[in-house]
Amino acid sequence: MCGIVAYIGHRQAKPILIKGLQRLEYRGYDSAGIALISEETAALNVYKIAGKVNDLNDFCEGKDVTGHVGMGHTRWATHGEPSDVNAHPHTSADGTLSVIHNGIIENHEVLKKELINRGYEFVSQTDTEVLVHLIHDIQKKENVNLEEAVRLALCEVIGAYAIVVMSSKEPNVLIGARKSSPMVIGVGEGEHFIASDATPIVEYTRNVIYLEDNEVATIRDGELTIKTIDNEVANHYIQELEINLETLEKGGFEHFMLKEIYSQPESITDCLRGRIRVKDGIVQLGGLSRFENSFENIKRIIIVACGTSWHAGLVGEYLIEELARIPVEVEYASEFRYRNPIILDGDLVIAISQSGETADTLAALQMAKEKGAIIWGVCNVVGSSIPRITDAGVYTHAGPEIGVASTKAFTAQVTVLTMIALRIAFKRGKISQERLNEVLVELENIPDKIRELLKSDGLIKEIAEIYKDAPNCLYLGRGYQFPVALEGALKLKEISYIHAEGYPAAEMKHGPIALIDESMPVVVIASNKLHYEKVVSNVQEVKARKGKIIAVVTKGDTSISALADHLIEIPETDEVLTPLLSVVPLQLLAYHIAVMRGCNVDQPRNLAKSVTVE
Ligand code: G6P
């Protein structure tokens, strides 16, 4: 993970770096650092500290932070604990050369041994430090400039990286390179930016270039050149960013997560825009149009994803199997990629990823492609790595999601999967025009129904107050509500650190029922008409063991309402769309409990939003 940002141009670099790092903090936040080439002394000044970007900013107070060239890093520890010394940038012993890195150098042990034999001393426990000494060593041995030394060093490196390198010996040069970790270059008027994503860049320029794997970008005296690590010139065209700056601010909400929960009516509207025409009964997805004629040939769909996106994938399985009647398997990307899976003719692999950068998902997709599958992507971040390698795909258009716990990205993913299921189903003749119309009418109404649902926030906060100190929590659901139960439990565990489990309601009696006593809150999601009576029985089983029941039910429900200790009502909708509503109260419940427990909601401990390491 880790976030990187760098600047070279006519402005003072430090404010750009600090602001950029704050935007990138979702990628990691256990330590942070910056390096600048001082205007006053021409020396390379490095300031780094364990803690957040704000701590770094305080730490820089009163120090020489001048400079038009600089880079910054916010870390999510992989090798070496979070500490001042392990924070990036890492610097050569003579203090002239500095590197920041996102990724993992897999052969760092071998390289380190060689460098130690050549007299280099290591001060940190990181894999990154190897890069600094390696580049320094090559420069010394080969007598080459920084660009060439970086290129030659990268030829020796195995692993994943996005790095930025600067040196006080070549103060007008900034170098960036990537392999399997993201990197965007912002091209302004006489200035350039490098970052892990476009958020630190967007307020200065909308012109960006997405660096490809194995490419090295050098900005020298205001000129950008991009070459492959084999030293061939790479041609790139500039793309225009579409991010809206306002979406990067909290806009009056206490946390990004709360803002993002509340923005779901708008994010779903954005996701649906131009894709459904209710009065004509049409759902169309431009990103898939090229493949429409081969929908008939799809024999099996394999969905690969991680975390919340994997839960969206499970909803997708229910949707696609029910509507389009194609068998679906949902795989954890990390398992799929390492178990030599069977890919057959007619297999379609769909990757779901908010960031479009998750290392395991990307690798699983690449493997599926090599084995001959058609690959599609359902991603949120435009221009990220997954959409760039897929054959086709659909963007979720949920806008930037900053809170580490995913909320609006999940509902947008489910919305896209619903549209994919409907489109394929209709084209394959598995649903009638009438059924399509029915679902589309309801789909269009979902944003308003979420608005209505958000009015229960006060009630949910009261429930949160009662259960904020619970050590455990169980989430139960059947059918479409089972993935929602998993997602609700994940939200609670991620941000409040309460242990929570999601379970298919009927499976409860094969294990979790043993945990139920009067101190165990059980969240039952029972908005579905299907299996309703069976869920009522499950609720009774919990009740008989004195568990406390928080029920999420459809308005007008009577049976479960009579048994529940607390009731959260959601508006009625088509069965297939219920996850889009029932997940919202669970997001709010987790949010309020976490706030009441004093947790850092937007940056929960040990987590990162974009997991670009395996
Ligand atoms: C991390 C994030 C989760 C996210 C998962 C997959 O664990 O904290 O919120 O669901 O990665 O990320 P992706 O970007 O692929 O959806």
Distance 410 CA to ligand 1 centre (A): 10
Amino acid at 387: P
3-state secondary structure of 172: coil
pLDDT at 517: 84
Q: Is the model's pLDDT at 249 over the cut of 90? A: no
Q: How far is CA 117 from CA 110, 112, 122, in A?
A: 11, 9, 12
- 244 compared with 92, residue with greater pLDDT: 92
Going by pLDDT thresholds of 50, 70 and 90, the confidence category of residue 27 is confident
- Per the CB < 8 A criterion, the answer to whether 166 and 69 are in contact is yes
Question: Does the beta carbon of 307 sit less than 6 angstroms from any atom of ligand 1?
Answer: yes
Neighbours of 437 (CB within 10 A): 16
Distance 492 CA to ligand 1 centre (A): 15
Question: Does the beta carbon of 353 sit less than 6 angstroms from any atom of ligand 1?
Answer: yes
The question of whether 609 is a catalytic residue gets the answer: yes
Closest residue by Cα to atom 7, ligand 1, is 307
pLDDT at 599: 94
Q: How far is CA 493 from CA 352, 497, 517, 587, 604, in A?
A: 22, 5, 20, 11, 10
My answer on whether omega of the bond before 89 falls inside 30° of 0, hence cis, is yes
Atom of ligand 1 nearest to the CA of 413: 16
Residue 324, Cβ density class (10 Å: 0-12 exposed, 13-18 middle, ≥19 buried):
buried
Q: Is the model's pLDDT at 118 over the cut of 80? A: yes
Going by pLDDT thresholds of 50, 70 and 90, the confidence category of residue 569 is very high
Distance 354 CA to ligand 1 centre (A): 7
Distance 5 CA to ligand 1 centre (A): 21
3-state secondary structure of 529: coil
Question: How many alpha carbons lie under 13 Å from residue 43 in its C-beta half-sphere?
Answer: 11
Closest residue by Cα to atom 1, ligand 1, is 609
Question: Does the beta carbon of 385 sit less than 6 angstroms from any atom of ligand 1?
Answer: no
Per cent of the chain over pLDDT 90 is 80
* Span 143-154, average pLDDT: 97
What is the token pair recorded at 435?
A: 């059924």
Q: What is the pLDDT of residues 529-563, one digit of tens each?
A: 777 788 888 888 888 888 899 999 999 888 888 88
526's CB contacts (< 8 A; 6+ apart) are: 477, 478, 481, 532, 535, 536, 539, 551, 552, 553, 554, 557, 560
- Per the CB < 8 A criterion, the answer to whether 28 and 3 are in contact is yes
* Span 406-417, average pLDDT: 98
To test the pocket of ligand 1, the residue of 610, 612, 614 to mutate (highest count of ligand atoms within 8 Å of its CB) is 610
233's CB contacts (< 8 A; 6+ apart) are: 225, 226, 227
To test the pocket of ligand 1, the residue of 260, 493, 611, 614 to mutate (highest count of ligand atoms within 8 Å of its CB) is 611
DSSP state letter for 26 = G
What are the b/e assignments for 339-366, b being 16+ CB within 10 Å? eebebeeebbbbbbbbbbbbbbbbbbbb
Q: What is the pLDDT of residues 276-316, one digit of tens each?
A: 999 999 999 999 998 898 999 999 999 999 999 999 999 99
The question of whether 2 is a catalytic residue gets the answer: yes
Closest residue by Cα to atom 8, ligand 1, is 609
Place of tokens 């794997």: 213
Distance 306 CA to ligand 1 centre (A): 6
What are the b/e assignments for 212-223, b being 16+ CB within 10 Å? ebbbbbbbbeee
Distance 250 CA to ligand 1 centre (A): 20
pLDDT at 607: 77
Chain mean pLDDT for the chain? 93
Calculate Rg over the CA atoms of the chain: 25
DSSP state letter for 391 = S
Q: Give the relative orientation of helices 264-272 and 433-453 as an angle to the nearest 10 degrees.
A: 160
Distance 586 CA to ligand 1 centre (A): 18
* Span 172-200, average pLDDT: 95
Closest residue by Cα to atom 15, ligand 1, is 353
pLDDT at 86: 94
Query: Residue 231: what are its φ and ψ, rounded to 5°?
Result: 70, 25
3-state secondary structure of 427: helix
Question: Does the beta carbon of 586 sit less than 6 angstroms from any atom of ligand 1?
Answer: no
Question: Does the beta carbon of 181 sit less than 6 angstroms from any atom of ligand 1?
Answer: no
* Span 103-107, average pLDDT: 91
Closest residue by Cα to atom 4, ligand 1, is 307
Q: What is the pLDDT of residues 358-409, one digit of tens each?
A: 999 999 999 999 999 999 999 998 888 899 999 999 999 998 898 989 999 9
For 339-378, the DSSP string reads: S-----TTEEEEEEESSS--HHHHHHHHHHHHTT-EEEEE
* Span 323-349, average pLDDT: 94
Amino acid at 55: D
Among candidate residues 2, 306, 473, 599, the one labeled active-site is 2
Going by pLDDT thresholds of 50, 70 and 90, the confidence category of residue 271 is very high
C-alpha–C-alpha distance, residues 190 and 205, integer Å: 11
Per cent of the chain over pLDDT 70 is 99
Question: Does the beta carbon of 603 sit less than 6 angstroms from any atom of ligand 1?
Answer: no
Q: Is the model's pLDDT at 614 over the cut of 70? A: no
Question: Does the beta carbon of 404 sit less than 6 angstroms from any atom of ligand 1?
Answer: yes
Going by pLDDT thresholds of 50, 70 and 90, the confidence category of residue 613 is low
pLDDT at 538: 84
Q: Is the model's pLDDT at 528 over the cut of 70? A: no
What is the token pair recorded at 369?
A: 């492609």
Distance 507 CA to ligand 1 centre (A): 26
Atom of ligand 1 nearest to the CA of 405: 9
Q: How far is CA 93 from CA 105, 122, 222, 610, in A?
A: 20, 9, 28, 32
